[in-house]
Structure 1
Amino acid sequence: MDLTGAQVLAHRAAAQGLHGDDPDAVLPLGVVDSPPKTGAAALGVRGRRDGVEDLVRVLSLRGAPHLHRRDDLPALRRQLRPRTPRHLAAWCGAHPVPDLEHVDLVVDLLHREFPGETATKGELSAAISPLLPPVVTPHCPTCRTGHVIENVFRLATLLAGIELAHLGPKLVFRRPTAKPDVEEPGEPTLLRDYARLVGPFAKADAEKWLGAGPPGTWPELRPVRVDGKRLLAADDLAAEDVAEAPDPPAGLLLFPRDPYLLGPRHLVADPDVAKRVWRPVGGPGALVLHGRVTGAWRHEFRGRTVTFQVTGWSKVKGAARRAIKDQADVLAGVWGGNALGADVVEW
């Protein structure tokens, strides 16, 4: 199957509910929520107007805060649980890799030693670290002490069924009410959803999203060519479905980790634009015009107004300009209800 990048992005926008007809379409992937409310923003631009209180906030993919549906958490735990030393190594960074059973030990201690009804990350780590063997608590030069490996701790909170408070500058964990059962790997539904919602990708794209390779097998995939480059797609992807997708929205204000921006980066942005938007720390938002990232944006709060500073705003015309103004109003509503208004200016 031969496709164009424009066709892939149109299909992706439709599959991910960016036309406002299915605001929860991306929830099978989870939505990054760091800083807090960025997850609500990602769902808000897709048409969700009733808040995110029905969703749970947990440390999931790559140990980052995400919003998920509670019913999706058992499958998420099954598929992120390391089942080989190689997969556990992806959570350990530069640290020596402990035994797989040490993950279950950390999970058990999180339940037994949880201090109070809520706990910060530091309080929870301090409660369990003295009870763990040295291989799980290497010396940390920054903290000047030994504590549980950061991302092993983050993964274990998910496996233990521990949720996060939705708001606040720090990670605050809630006492778990029940310990989840240890489950078999099951079907690779996460990767199937990735293929379905992102469209053609390279395996390295999916592994970067997961933070590691799949614990089990890859789902059934088929080779396709997009603008002449070989990629993989869901086995049931039909050329007519891609061809019939409507054009992407004229203008979008997305955060850098929005699900629309997953997959091969060259499909959504030229290299010079990508360098400005995807930064290791403190990256701006992505200005998306007619499906492609063309610039960046930032925002700041000034009294009752949230000001959006948009790259090249004076050059954005017609339907794209109207769409960006609508997006700014939506985000102001997500962040402040009726208390905030939006102002879009040149960056």
Structure 2
Amino acid sequence: MLEVSRKQVLAYRIARHGLHRTEQDPVASPQFDLGLQDSMRDTAVLALAARSAGEVTPTTLVDDPRVVLVWSHRGAPHFHRRDDLRELTTSLIPLDDADALARMLWQKKEIGATGVPASEVLFTAAKAIRKVVKEPMSKGAVSAAVTRELPEAYSRWCRPCNATHIQEQLMRLATLHGGVRLEADQSPATLAPLEGRARLRTTPDAAAVSRVVRGYLTVNGPATQGDAAGFVGTAKTALTPAWPEDLTEVSVDGRKTFLPTAEVSALENPPAPSIVRLLPPLDPFTQARDKTVLVPDKARAKEVWKILGSPGALLVDGELMGVWRTRGSGKRLAFTMTAFDPLRATDRAAAEEEAERAAKARGYADLSVTWA
């Protein structure tokens, strides 16, 4: 078994995440192989700014016809390459009913209570969404119309909305199967039919799921089957039929993990992570499931991953060395940086340069930086 240190793993991941900025074309970023999550304001564009050598602006993703925003992994909104959509949709077909139910995450109990196999529930909802969404519609309008098409058991009373509507996670998981995308940069959320949408497919493809798992292990490895399942949004056991072959066992400070064998050389000899980056909340790097590898110190981990209102993370020479927040006022974006330990003057200066890049990516003409 190959044995490596935690620092070696972080150096490898930083390179695989494209954080050395070797790609000029934003869409060429390796992160697009899995999709770029956009669950919070400007998360995706800031994550891209941390990775792309080219200029990143508020419209970089919105105006690029090569990418599309959809609900995909775990039902979370991600930007994906349009050319990857067919393969992506296939990979999101549950392998069996147990997998389908596990993917319902926090709403497993409600979907299980329908008494209908979870796969059938999913694809019934997908057919209803496909029938309803013929033009851009608000999420609320789609939800109301789809609810009328479905059995009562597929819906719930929502106190905030003061209405009965389709289960939220069910809707998110079914939408792409229904040939529907999200309109980028729209609030409230707006759904629209995919251009040239393909027919509904329901046949599981373990090879397609396996490629997603391999992609996760490539970018966020070495990692465990449970880590990969967390990214997919299913149970660990559900991934067993799709667990990739040709993996190498790797001991990371005594923890048994796996990495695609083709990546072993890159893990053994990663480039020095001598960079400073501002990673936004929910950045793909900090979204890795093994958070104790990223930040072993529990007190610091609590600062990086807050239950409510998570800040961005300050990456310095391969370690998450602090957090940052912003507040916009007019044309100015104010950054507050908090370092866990005193930083070198050169690192602080580099962080402030990154703040300028992040401000530009969000469309602000001016900024200020305060070190707390």
TM-score (norm 1): 0.91
1:46 to 48, 51, 68: 51
User: Is 1:2 aligned to residue 3 of structure 2?
Assistant: yes
Matches within 5 A, 1:179-328: 179-181=197-199, 182=201, 184-185=204-205, 186-187=207-208, 188-213=210-235, 216-220=241-245, 221-238=247-264, 240-261=265-286, 262-269=288-295, 270-312=297-339, 315-328=342-355
CA contact (8 A) 1:30 1:68 kept: yes
RMSD: 2.1
- Residues 296-316 of structure 1, C-alpha deviations (whole Å, 9 max, x = no match): 110011232211101139932
Shift of 1:346: 1.8
Shift of 1:142: 4.6
Matches within 5 A, 1:125-204: 125-181=143-199, 182=201, 184-185=204-205, 186-187=207-208, 188-204=210-226
Distance 2:328 2:159 in 1: 36
2:17 match = 16
Shift of 1:201: 1.0
1:120 match = 138
- Residues 147-205 of structure 1, C-alpha deviations (whole Å, 9 max, x = no match): 21111101111112211111133211123344423154133111111111112112222
Distance 1:346 1:144, change over 3 A: same
User: Is 1:30 aligned to residue 46 of structure 2?
Assistant: no
CA contact (8 A) 1:288 1:294 kept: yes
2:101 to 59, 77, 89: 89
User: Is 1:105 aligned to residue 107 of structure 2?
Assistant: no
Distance 1:314 1:279 in 2: 19
Matches within 5 A, 1:50-61: 51-52=60-61, 53-54=63-64, 55-61=67-73
Counterpart residue type for residue 312 of structure 1: A
CA contact (8 A) 1:273 1:293 kept: no
Counterpart residue type for residue 35 of structure 1: M
TM-score (norm 2): 0.86
Distance 1:307 1:86 in 2: 47
Tell me, what secondary structure is at the counterpart of 1:260? coil
Distance 1:297 1:32, change over 3 A: same
Distance 1:102 1:94, change over 3 A: closer
Tell me, what secondary structure is at the counterpart of 1:288? strand
Corresponding residue pairs, total: 343
Residue identity (%)? 30
2:361 match = 334
Distance 1:249 1:57 in 2: 32
Shift of 1:233: 1.6
2:368 match = 343
Distance 2:253 2:120 in 1: 46
Distance 1:17 1:209 in 2: 19
CA contact (8 A) 1:313 1:345 kept: no
Distance 1:314 1:15, change over 3 A: closer
Range with greater deviation from structure 2 (169-178 or 146-155):
169-178
Distance 2:302 2:149 in 1: 44
Distance 2:315 2:189 in 1: 30
CA contact (8 A) 1:160 1:176 kept: no
2:90 match = 78
Task: Give the unaligned 5+ runs of structure 1.
Answer: none
Distance 1:320 1:263, change over 3 A: farther
Tell me, what secondary structure is at the counterpart of 1:35? coil
Counterpart residue type for residue 8 of structure 1: V
2:74 to 57, 62, 74: 62
